[in-house]
Amino acid sequence: MVSDIKNEHASITSLYVLAQFILAQLLRNMGFPQKKFGKKAEVNTRAVDSAVQILIQIGIGLGVGRPALAVHALADSFQLRDWSGDSATKLLNSIDPNQRIVTNCNKRPCQAIAPPSLADMGRESIPWQSLGDPRLAPHYTGAFAQGLIWGLLYPKEAEKASDMERIYYEQQAPFWISHGLKISPKYAWATNADFYNNCEQMVESFVSDRRPLVNTPKELLSEPRIMQRFRENTEA
């Protein structure tokens, strides 16, 4: 699955993509980048690991609470894809993370989706600029896309996971704060609806600060599971 994601994103890493924008915003909110002893701006790897999981949560939140916007974001994430020559169903099947989530039921969904931990690779920090490195970016941009897909295709399970995140955050916040993250000890959103609004605002911020999202291709809009999701959302 990782190779599929890297191949899909290989030609897009030179573009300023939505996932990169959100990840950078999350890390800035945590107090990064930081400069120490005249070195270049760096970011703590534990902070990156934490921010990537929040990035995945945002993808899931869009899929659950803002499905039309999630499909639009998915199209933008794969904007150089030949949709007419390669089916949307094939894409969804190739990076649908549900089996990994089910197999790793001892982990939170965003944890199961997340790429390998940077902190566990033995580095305390990495250069801020390396977040755009083509060797690193496909991992978190692909994870964001998987979050979008999981929220879209499994909304009931994903909404339950959002409830769990609130509990997990408040348990872990003291540990993250002790490692230098400038965050609140309390979860920022009182309800899932508040969180979905925040996810939407992040996309709006990207559009305002960077560029519009690309148009959603008809091949993606007509994918059977996407069409079913839109019908369910209308009936709800």
pLDDT in tens, 186-199: 888 888 999 999 99
Alpha-carbon gap, residue 57 to 23, rounded angstroms:
12
> How would residue 152 be classed by pLDDT, with cut points 50, 70 and 90?
very high
- Residue 193 CB-half CA count within 13 A: 0
One-letter amino acid at 125 equals S
Q: How far apart are CA 134 and CA 9, in angstroms?
A: 9
Whether 29 shows a pLDDT value over 70: the answer reads yes
- pTM for the predicted model, two decimal places: 0.88
Say what the pLDDT of residue 69 is.
Answer: 97
Residues 85-109: what's their mean pLDDT?
A: 93
Distance CA(49)–CA(133), nearest Å, equals 16
Task: State yes or no: cis peptide before 224, omega within 30 of 0.
Answer: no
- Report the pLDDT value the prediction gives residue 190, as an integer from 0 to 100: 81
Report, as an integer, the average pLDDT of 168-186: 83
Q: What is the pLDDT of residue 75?
A: 94
Residue 154 DSSP SS3 = coil
Sign of CA dihedral 32, 40, 133, 113: negative
42-44/125-127 β-pairing: antiparallel
So what's the pLDDT on residue 115? 95
* Residue 46 CA: distances (Å) to CA of 9, 87, 120, 220: 24, 37, 9, 35
